[in-house]
Chains A and B, each alone.
Chain A
Amino acid sequence: MRRCRMSAPALPLPVEIVGRSEEAAGIFTLHLRLPTPEQRAVYCFLPGQFNMLYLPAVGEVPISLSSDPEDEILGHTVRSAGRVTRALARLQPGEYLGVRGPYGRGWPLQEAGGRDVVIVTGGLGCAPVLAVVHYVLRRRKSFGRLVVIQGVKHSRDLLWPQAYQEWARQPDTQVLVAADAGEPLWPWHVGSAIPLIEQAVFDTDHALAMLCGPEGMMVAAARALAARGLAESAIYLSMERNMQCAVGLCGHCQLGGKFVCRDGPVFRYPEVKFLLERGGL
């Protein structure tokens, strides 16, 4: 893996949109290419890190990188939900937006090398962990088993259903999906995803878990993984907070004494366990 030594710029860099893919209703990926070869050469990130995307005259929004760190084109998968993301949804290739980043701490992919990787996600479009699934599959021999556990509210909320089927066919890969409510012919489990952790096959002494989703779900998943015998320090999770500056200054992303933008968004579970379990902080 490349060593990152660049520091993020203070100003958004205008970048051209070179491609756009529709992922699902209201979810799309913008593919960006930094303007000069030098900029492309120095820009480097870890899955789990994010960029601030700037839409001129509209504002900024933090979006995690969803492309592979070795690709030159930077992918950002966006769900159109708020004022800025709805405006981003109208952008087409050839248009420009601003990028500053990458910011924060990404997933511990170095430490995960050679170990089993257990991914638990809940809710819609968890781009930060999908990037890890792709990362591991692309370097299949560098990791142990891959277990992907995904929970959704309704079966129709499962984005990329074919992708899950496809992953399930990969060697040493287990895919467990659950929907609280399923449609007829739903091939996966109906109910909560947390009990599926029981069925996950991994070596608790040589595994890392990566969690992403609603806070309550992550707490439940961390407990279930710990009950399986996985050390809490081997559990990582990605936190979401209101982020405006991305550099530990504006104070919006505070979680107890942590600045999620700078100290996270990926945390080791013990670092935030106390704060997460209480909520409202």
Chain B
Amino acid sequence: MSVPAFLPRPQLQRVFDALQHLGYRIVGPVARDGALVYEDITSASELPWGVAARQDAGSFRLEAGAGERCFAWANGPQALKPLVFAPVEPLWRMERKGAGFEVRMTQATCRPTAVIGVRACDLAALALQDRHFLGGLHADAHYAGRREDLLLIAVNCTHPAATCFCASTGDGPQVSRGFDLALTELDEGYTVAVGSPPGEKLLALLAPAPATADQLERERAALHRAAAAQTRGLPGRQLRDVLMARLDHPRWQEVAERCLACGNCTAVCPTCFCHAEIESASLDGATSLHLREWDSCFGERHGYIHGKQLRPGTRERYRQWLVHKLATWHDQYGRSGCVGCGRCITWCPAAIDLTEEAAALCAGAA
């Protein structure tokens, strides 16, 4: 691919113009209700200029940031997952016809969508969700429909949160694959790297100058600092065997006493894929929608079968969450299910920190 380009800050709007010219709907981060959320935007002015975010276990606070940047923060509660794996979505529609009935697949019509401000952890999580929803024998048509025509404009992380540990999982702070364009925010603008032919096409419309050696050096230094600033981490990338050998560790009980089983962690986790299927019928039962909606292994219906709970208590449910994420994900997808985004730490009302739990559970392991 080509050498990195450089866009001066005032020209960020040209990226929006070019995307709109190509017919894209644009989704990007905005500061709203005390958080950073991804929603439809039409201009660069809607980005969170001058905003910083302070994250810690159980807390997220927006603050005034130093300087004139719009990506000087790490992440909000959600990024890509709701765009490809919708929180609620009909799978089919049933209509009675005579003695029988008819079933038709419902498919949301999706405009090509460009997402701006995608982080390295989000891309790693998307790759995992792609494998889950598209990589098997029964590729999911609904996910596929949303996934195709998604243009990803990534932004390398220069301001990780205290909760971030993507350097430890190997998923960030710099994006390495799966993006169309990747920006790095500097004081005076953005370096731009191309990751795909559609990204190249978009960049060509902007006809930018190449980045200077000095700019690339400052980019490199910023990413190095971002990795070095992360203090949290997991005790190794292959925790499968240690955790499977410690399913009876007293720590499971101990964390269960703090955990509220609210399911926030699974809702914000960009790799959690569990969903329930439910039938939503019209009052007269003549038609119905068969829906799927996000579900959580902390909930009552997840492990329910024939009047019995397979995982009755919070101890078993927290263990399912952590063991799936960090251990059995390796069996399913050849890697850990954690990309180090830190969301489950920030958004846990009880301030439970999975890196701390993993460390306690794995303490003393070779």
Q: Which residues does A use to contact B, with CB under 8 Å?
A: 7-8, 10-14, 16, 54, 56-60, 81-82, 94-96, 98, 240-242, 244-245, 247-252, 254, 256-259, 262, 274, 278, 280-281
Interface centre among A56, A58, A60, A245, by most chain B C-beta atoms within 10 angstroms, is: A56
Report the nearest A residue to B132, measured CB to CB: A249
| Residues of chain A within 8 A of B329, CB atoms compared | 257
B100, B304, B332: which contacts A242 (Cβ < 8 A)? B304
Query: Smallest Cβ distance from A112 to chain B, in angstroms?
Result: 25
* Cβ < 8 Å to A, chain B residues 241-268: 244, 247
- How many angstroms between the C-alpha atoms of A30 and B310 in the bound complex? 28
B92 engages A81 (CB within 8 Å): no
B316 CB contacts on chain A under 8 angstroms: 280-281
Provide the bound-state CA to CA distance between A79 and B235, in Å. 47
By DSSP majority rule, is chain A's interface helix, strand, loop, or mixed? loop
Q: Can you sample 29 A-B contacts with CB below 8 Å?
A: A11-B92, A11-B103, A12-B92, A54-B290, A56-B285, A58-B281, A60-B277, A60-B279, A96-B99, A96-B100, A241-B305, A242-B304, A247-B136, A249-B132, A249-B133, A249-B136, A250-B274, A250-B277, A251-B295, A251-B297, A252-B274, A254-B320, A254-B328, A257-B329, A259-B332, A278-B247, A280-B311, A280-B316, A280-B319
**In chain A, what residue has the closest Cβ to B140?**
A249
A7 to B128, CA, bound (A): 24
Q: Are A257 and B137 in contact (CB under 8 A)?
A: no
B278 on interface, CB distance cutoff 8 Å? yes
Of A16, A240, A250, the contact of B100 (CB 8 Å cutoff): A16
Knowing A56-B96, A245-B277, the reply to whether A250 touches B288 (Cβ < 8 A) is no
What is the minimal beta-carbon distance from B1 to any residue of chain A, in angstroms? 34
Nearest CB on A from B248, distance (A): 8
Contact with A along B97-123 (1 / 0, CB 8 A): 001111111000000000000000000
Which residue of chain B has the shortest Cβ distance to A249 in the bound complex?
B140
A215–chain B nearest beta-carbon distance, Å: 9
CB distance from B355 to the nearest CB of A (A): 22
Q: In the complex, which residues of chain B have a beta carbon less than 8 angstroms from the beta carbon of A96?
A: 99-101
A95 to B100, CA, bound (A): 7
Contact B100 A8 (CB under 8 A): no
Q: Roughly how many angstroms separate A278 CA and B279 CA in the complex, as a whole number?
A: 34
Do the beta carbons of B275 and A57 come within 8 Å of each other? Answer: no
How many Å lie between the Cα of A257 and that of B332 in the bound state? 6
In the complex formed, the residue of A with least CB distance to B281 is A57
Say yes or no: B103 contacts A14, CB within 8 Å: yes
A245 to B278, CA, bound (A): 11
In contact, B103 and A98 (Cβ under 8 angstroms): yes
For B301, the closest partner residue in chain A by CB is: A242
Name the distance in Å between A8's Cβ and chain B's nearest Cβ.
7
Q: CA separation between A82 and B307, bound complex, in Å?
A: 8
Query: CA–CA, A259 to B140, complex, Å?
Result: 16
Q: Are A247 and B103 in contact (CB under 8 A)?
A: no
B305-331: CB near A (< 8 Å → 1, else 0) gives: 111001110001001100110011111
